[in-house]
Structure 1
Amino acid sequence: MKRFLIPIMISILLGACALIPSASQIPSTKVIEVISTAVSKEGTHVPEAAAVTFTRSGGLAGKTEQWSFYLDGRVESNQGSTQLVPGDVSQLVTALTSVGIFNLKESYGGLTNCNDCFTYTISISADNKTKTITTIDGATDTPVELQTILKLINDFINKIPTQ
């Protein structure tokens, strides 16, 4: 039985290697197509990063909602996208920076006994700086500045026209 086991294993290994095409078996046009899509061409618009991203997850239903706000006025969320006046998003960024978002810690809240609370993650890019902050409902160490930031963002979201 051992005599047959080794040749069978070798046959299986060699057969598996045959399934992987060699470079000569791939049409050259396919290789060029893949390479050209991976390389950015001159004049191609590279999308800008969101100025503010806000994620709210958890609650009783355990849902996740995310909004990305761009300086050109675009708002993208898991409910769809819309276009605002570009100055609206700039005003939000100015308000968040004036409250002191860049001076806050990265995380607040730790463990709480709140089973249906929401977790909030805020990311901002402004003035050549980037900051991400995470907090949770009921966190006893949440500073007033972060509470103000959450209110500013929630108020901004509530003013976005629904589609």
Structure 2
Amino acid sequence: MLNTLAPQRVNILCLLAVERMLAAQPSSALQQILTQAFERARRHTYHDMDSLKTQALSLVAGYQPQDIDAHQAQCAALALLFTLEYMDSQQVEYAEQTLAKQQELFDLYSEQGQPQAVSADLDWQQQLAAALSVEELDDQQLMNLRRHNQQHGLPPLQTQPAPI
């Protein structure tokens, strides 16, 4: 999927994936970084990415994945960091790492008995990739795409009760 899109479109695809991941574990700090990254992707201005990466890295370090909620938040934070690295370097390995973090989160959903969340997200991601491969996006179209994407956000993980 990544090799069929222009680098600017991969930026957007990865940012949209992170945005859906954050729906399950909202973090105002991560949302703020994500918003700034979307703005840079929209304008195609990728200067001073180091400040965004530093902010994201400090948030990643703050998550101790001792429970599912923290693990979920850390996956989203790492995916954002990898996306920022991709935006800065255009090295496809970073975009692949973003999607690998998304897959790690999908594995958690499957383990917790929520495979429908995974299949719905993968279906939506395919639709996004198809749309990004053919359409030119002006500001309004990107805003609409984000609004639709937010409606497809991942639900919070539902932890299984411990056996008695």
TM range (shorter): under 0.3
Indicate the structure with greater strand content: 1
Indicate the structure with greater helix content: 2
Normalised TM-score (structure 2): 0.28
Return the structure number with greater relative CO, CA threshold 8 A, min gap 6.
2
Whose Rg is larger? 1
Normalised TM-score (structure 1): 0.28
